[in-house]
């Protein structure tokens, strides 16, 4: 049985903004009944080009309904530029977490929002011209790449949890593994595509996690050490050294000249790394 947060259960049992707006400014439709989940998002702008009203219609499970409801609450009153920055991870955080096997519901909300904004602007989404990789669930290569980068996915099982891709006949597994391998080789800056300045707290946290996992931890592990992210308080990154690093006399130098230096290069120039000792 899934463990749902109280906030997620509330949005499922008491969904906000259900329905469809007449003569909407933007419409986004994703998923399909054949695949088990579908979402239609419509919004109306006010004279200042802010989202005045937004409604959704969802066919799906509790997580699909809750994430759709939460999304409408998150974007109401925002500009399209502000709304466009919201990712599925922001949706999950807003709801106090979503079971890993249900994260594809948050991705569906993210995709519906992007589609509705593109519809308003008269633009085509990159995913529309991207080849379909998973025929069973109609997941394109670009949709898969976006989910992998935004959520730092590294396994086939995770891709299935977040996009459903690979959860059917299995003939696309090799292609998914190839996409994962290709993205794993990308420079950290391209993988996230976030600016190094004016990061939101969620963006900063995500980029710190990525940098530790891909740029710092492998180097420490080669010498028998390791590092664990304990907490992030603004621009203070609290870490704990593990393995041989925990007792090394040069631990302070490692933190300042390697860990802190890499985070300042790849995340923000004024980040401060502090060690948390047992």
Residues with a known catalytic role: 35, 105
Separation CA 244–CA 87 (nearest Å)? 37
In terms of Cβ atoms closer than 10 Å to its own Cβ (0-12, 13-18, 19+), residue 27 is middle
End-to-end CA distance of the chain: 35
Q: Would residue 19 be called left, alpha or beta, if left means φ above 0 and alpha means ψ between -120 and 50 degrees?
A: left
DSSP state of 260: I
35-48 per-residue burial string, b: 16 or more CB within 10 A, e: under 16:
bebbbbbbbebeee
C-alpha distances (whole Å) from 116 to each of 28, 91, 196, 251 are 4, 17, 28, 50
Specify which residues 28 forms β-bridges with.
41
């Amino acid at each position: 049985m899934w463990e749902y947060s109280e906030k997620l259960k509330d949005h499922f049992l008491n969904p906000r903004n259900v329905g469809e707006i007449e003569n909407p400014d933007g419409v986004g439709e994703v998923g399909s009944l054949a695949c088990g989940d579908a979402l239609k998002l419509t919004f109306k702008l006010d004279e200042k080009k802010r989202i005045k009203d937004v409604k959704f219609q969802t066919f799906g499970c509790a997580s699909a309904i809750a994430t759709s409801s939460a999304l409408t609450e998150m974007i109401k009153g925002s500009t399209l530029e502000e709304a466009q920055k919201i990712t599925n991870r922001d949706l999950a955080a807003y709801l106090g977490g979503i079971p890993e096997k249900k994260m594809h519901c948050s991705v569906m909300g993210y995709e519906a929002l992007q589609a509705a904004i593109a519809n308003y602007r008269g633009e085509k989404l990159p995913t529309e011209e991207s080849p379909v990789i998973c025929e069973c669930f109609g997941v394109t290569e670009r949709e898969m790449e976006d989910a992998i980068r935004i959520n730092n996915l590294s396994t086939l099982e995770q891709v299935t949890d977040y996009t459903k891709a690979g959860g059917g006949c299995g003939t696309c597994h090799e292609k998914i593994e190839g996409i994962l391998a290709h993205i794993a080789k990308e420079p950290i800056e391209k993988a996230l595509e976030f600016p190094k300045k004016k990061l939101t707290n969620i963006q900063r946290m995500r980029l710190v996690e990525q940098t530790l996992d891909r740029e710092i931890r492998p180097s420490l592990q080669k010498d028998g050490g390791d590092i664990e992210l304990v907490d992030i308080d603004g621009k203070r990154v609290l870490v704990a050294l593990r393995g041989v690093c925990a007792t090394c006399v040069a631990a302070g130098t490692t933190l300042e000249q390697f860990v802190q230096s890499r985070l300042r290069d790849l995340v923000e120039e004024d980040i401060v790394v502090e060690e948390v000792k047992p």
